[in-house]
Amino acid sequence: MKLKVGEEVKVIAGADKGKTGKILQTLKKENKVIVENVNIRKRHQKPNQANQNGGIIEFNAPIDASNVKKVDNTKTAKTTKKSSKKEEKKD
């Protein structure tokens, strides 16, 4: 898996297609990642000593790593470097 915690990724398949977020956790054995504000699930929880009121808890569920791709913010910098190299060769 080439994805790391903290990288910015975009969802390319599934119900949350088009959303972007940072990777919070990677599950390498399962080939899944947990992305911030993507694939949010709800769980109903009874009151207990840790959570006196109980209620509905929202959490980020893992999604398959093949359904996300890295967001490359440096594309413009790469194209300007290439164009400047071409100009140098012409001179």
Q: Over the chain, what HEC string results?
A: CCCCCCCEEEECCCCCCCCEEEEEEEECCCCEEEECCCCEEEEEECCCCCCCCCEEEEEECCEEHHHEEECCCCHHHHHHHHHHHHHHHHC
Q: What percent of the chain has pLDDT over 90?
A: 68
* pLDDT confidence of residue 84: 62
Q: Domain ranges in the chain?
A: 8-90
The Cα 81–Cα 85 span in angstroms is 6
Q: Give pTM, 2 decimals.
A: 0.71
* pLDDT confidence of residue 45: 93
For domain 8-90, give the CATH number.
2.30.30.30
Q: What percent of the chain has pLDDT over 70?
A: 80
